[in-house]
Amino acid sequence: RHAVRGLWNGSASARMLSPRLKEAAEFYVNDNKHKVDYRGPRRAGLDGKQILCQLKEKARLRTLDGSEEPFSSLGWGRLVPPQALEKLPGAPFKTCAVVASAGAILNSMLGKEIDSHDAVVRFNAAPTESYERDVGRKTTIRIMNSQILTDARHNFSDSPLYRNVSLVAWDPAPYTADLYQWFQSPDYNLFTPYETRRKASPSQHFYVLHPAFIWSLWDVIQSNSQEDIQPNPPSSGFIGIIVMMTLCDEVDVYEYIPSVRQTSLCHYYEGYFDNACTLGAYHPLLYEKTLIRRMSRATEEDLKRKGKATLPGFHTVTC
Ligand code: C5P
């Protein structure tokens, strides 16, 4: 409750979390699995426009293009799609919707509003079937973490969830974004299923985000907080929002910042309950969401009733 109010007014802090989530965040700070060594500034209190300009300057969208080792020697220059992600058919899109997978979207009746956008982004294994009334039926891009590609339960190679849409995958790499190290020990080996799908379906637009892009987002989040944020990559949701701010004139985000329907139900499509899904344990969600809240131009009514944040595309902003 406390933390959600903090998110609504754009000033959430770890102090507002339950002892359990506070301890979880502290565990990750001490663990520092990805060997984050951040030397940049920590200035809280930038306004929305300043954050927007900081992201526009620092967080340039990058995907693996096969030009760097070890990928160049492996022939990824020919493996990756010939056109950049920014040049996806239809891009730049006028209006985009980003649909967070939160349980709070249940009973939202947002489906029609979501589908009215030119492009709709969904995450990981989030389905539309039998949830159309609340989440819509259209999917343009699916953004996935590497577990989706490797965990047999998700059946990446055959599931219709990953067909007839553009795909963007990511995996946590060391903070230095050393591509050799990453290639040798990814969190989950997404490289093999990526190659397999690219060869089997060369016309499907399928990209892997560059680890330097992921960590540049993290740097912006940390630079806007005086607290030590979790030294782990931002959530797929945050990554997807920033990707779409690069591809769209305007981005509407749904149920990422929790609405009045806020619930501990983790995902709308499965019966698992944990507040960490909304407020963060591994991912620095509380801090990501604070930045999105500050940049949002949605009305307070839309924020609270729809869990809606409205963000301008980077190319519409003059810094
Ligand atoms: O859990 P998963 O990563 O698949 O969910 C997709 C995204 O939706 C998350 O990365 C997060 O940004 C957002 N989300 C959320 N609150 C939840 C569940 C998901 O903000 N309860």
Cβ contacts of residue 130 below 8 Å, gap of 6+? none
Each residue of 94-133: pLDDT tens digit?
A: 999 999 999 999 999 999 999 999 999 999 999 999 999 9
Confidence of residue 177 (pLDDT cuts 50, 70, 90): confident
Distance in Å from the first CA to the final CA of the chain: 35
Answer yes or no: is the C-beta of 309 below 6 A from any ligand 1 atom: no
Atom from ligand 1 closest to the CA of residue 145: 3
CA of 235 to the centre of ligand 1 (A): 7
CA of 67 to the centre of ligand 1 (A): 32
Residue-level pLDDT at 44:
87
What SS3 state is found at 314?
Answer: helix
Tell me the average pLDDT of the chain: 97
CA of 267 to the centre of ligand 1 (A): 7
The domains of the chain are located at 2-316
CA of 276 to the centre of ligand 1 (A): 10
Each residue of 23-65: pLDDT tens digit?
A: 999 999 999 999 999 999 999 889 999 999 999 999 999 999 9
Closest residue (by CA) to atom 17 of ligand 1? 102
Q: Are β-strands 119-123 and 93-99 bridged in parallel, bridged antiparallel, or unpaired?
A: parallel
Closest residue (by CA) to atom 12 of ligand 1? 237
pLDDT at 1 over 80: no
CATH 3.90.1480.20 fits 2-316, yes or no: yes
Atom from ligand 1 closest to the CA of residue 235: 10
Mean per-residue pLDDT, 255-271: 98
Mean per-residue pLDDT, 77-100: 97
